[in-house]
Amino acid sequence: MMALTMNTGTLSTARDRRARLTRDAIGVLVILAVAVLGYLLFPNNLALLTRITAIALLVLSLDLVTGYCGVATLGHAALFGAGAYGAGIAAAHFGITDPIAMLAVGVVAGALAGLVSGAVVLRAHGLPQLVLSIAIIHLAHEAANKASGWTGGSDGLAGIMPDAVFGLWQFDLWGRTAYVFGIVLLIAAFVVLRQIVRSPFGMLCRGIKQDPLRVRAMGASVHGTLIRMYAISGAVAGAGGALNAISTQVVGLDSLSFTLSAEALVMLVLGGTGSLYGALIGTLSFLWFEDVVSAANPFHWLTIVGALLIAVVLFAPKGLYGSLAALIERRGRKGR
């Protein structure tokens, strides 16, 4: 049966396209369903849900360079922070208060930060690469701290007052508009990234992760490809940062911190690298778990989170989503 479908290229491409569209539609519906469920279950905690959405964009962005390209980084919050400060400074200092325009500024700032940190981080491999990424986040943090005239320094950047979305929806006290804005943004990013990761470009990135020498032997440029992916990754993280600035109306130094970078990596590993679903599931479960545990036991919550992480890494090394997907695949094969 396999051989039959293989021989007729046109027939199978049409079928493949339908299968891909179906899978993407399911993905979007699942995100929507989870978002609606969150809205109904926690109507008084929309600020947390919006924060999870913003961080999800950061973790998706990290997945692009770490999960798909194999770049080791502990400095990815630099891209998120660039987006947050970009959008915040545009609003507070330049009067750009239209949320879409703020988002655009965040995306561009994130992409530029991606280009710069990519250019530095990609000079090395392995541990030196990790060290470079740590240096970048510390430098960025310090720069934002010093430039307090622009960033508000350690007090944070205040005075961000976004207008209504399309002049129609005001950002309300309960954070409803911000939440919907965030979910729409996340779904848009998800749809675009699904395209990119399975495009020829995405395939090339996966190849680079597995064997850069082989990629070169095919005549492709490893460095150029990775730099481009870094810029895309920066745009996504920058969108997350901008969302954070728009929804909380402040930007703090924590958005540009080593801690946030490391936590993003933890969330990605928790969910499973190299898959967009893994990034989403990792973010959601980590931040939700952190919220529940820190409320229940404010003194030992870090210990509990640590224990959970060790359990996942030891017993589900591919992460929550990765392990589940592998299990289903094995089941499916047995059934066949």
Partner 1 sequence: MSAIFDVRNLKRTFGGLAVTNDVSLSMAPGDRVALIGPNGAGKTTFVNLVTGNLLPNSGSVALGGEDVTRLGPTERVRRGLVRSFQVTRLFSEMTPEEHVALAILQREGRTGRMFASHRAMPDVMDEVHALLARLGIAHLARHRVSEIAYGQQRLLELALALALKPRVLLLDEPAAGVPQSDTARIEQAIADLPADLAVLMIEHDMDLVFRFARRVVVLAAGEIIFDGSPDAVTKDARVRQAYLGSYADARSVA
Site residues (vs partner 1, CB under 8 A): 2-3, 6-7, 9-10, 12-13, 16-17, 20, 195-196, 198-204, 206-207, 210-211, 213-214, 216-222, 225, 228
Q: Of 10 and 44, which has the nearer Cβ to partner 1?
A: 10
Question: CA 85 to CA 255: how far, in whole Å?
Answer: 9
* Collapsed DSSP state (helix, strand, coil) of residue 169: strand
* Separation of alpha carbons 103 and 203, rounded Å: 29
Rounded CA-CA distance 72/95 in Å is 37
Between 110 and 162, whose beta carbon lies closer to partner 1? 110
Nearest to partner 1 of 155, 211 (CB atom): 211
Instruction: Report the nearest approach of partner 1 to the CB of residue 222 (Å).
Output: 8
> By C-beta, is 93 or 214 nearer to partner 1?
214
The Cα angle at residue 84 between residues 249 and 65, in degrees rounded to 5: 145
Alpha carbon distance, N-terminus to C-terminus of the chain: 13
Measured distance CA(336)–CA(295) in Å, rounded: 46
Residue 251 has phi, psi (to 5 degrees) of -125, 125
Q: How many CB atoms lie within 10 A of CB 181?
A: 23
Q: Residue 13's CB: how many other CB atoms inside 10 A? A: 10
Q: CA 101 from chain center: how many Å?
A: 20
Q: Cβ of residue 226: shortest distance to partner 1, in angstroms?
A: 13
**What is the rounded radius of gyration, in angstroms, for the C-alpha atoms of the chain?**
20
Give the C-alpha separation, 273 to 81, whole Å.
22
Q: Which of 5, 303 has the CB closer to partner 1?
A: 5
How many degrees, rounded to 5, is the angle at CA 9 between CA 8 and CA 10?
100
Minimum distance between the CB of residue 110 and partner 1, rounded to whole angstroms? 17
Q: By C-beta, is 3 or 40 nearer to partner 1?
A: 3
The set of residues, in sequence order, having a beta carbon less than 8 Å from that of 77 and lying 6+ positions away, is 58, 137, 255, 256, 257, 258, 260, 261, 264
Closer CB to partner 1, 19 or 307, in the complex: 19
DSSP secondary structure, 257-324, as one string: -HHHHHHHHHHHHHH-TT-HHHHHHHHHHHHHHHHHHHHH-TTTHHHHHHHHHHHHHHH-TTHHHHHH
- Our CB check for partner 1 shows the closer of 200 and 332 to be 200
- What's the closest the beta carbon of residue 9 comes to partner 1, in angstroms? 4
Rounded least distance, CB 211 to partner 1, Å: 6
Q: What is the nearest approach in angstroms of partner 1 to the Cβ of residue 212?
A: 10
* Nearer residue to partner 1 within complex by CB, 298 or 335: 335
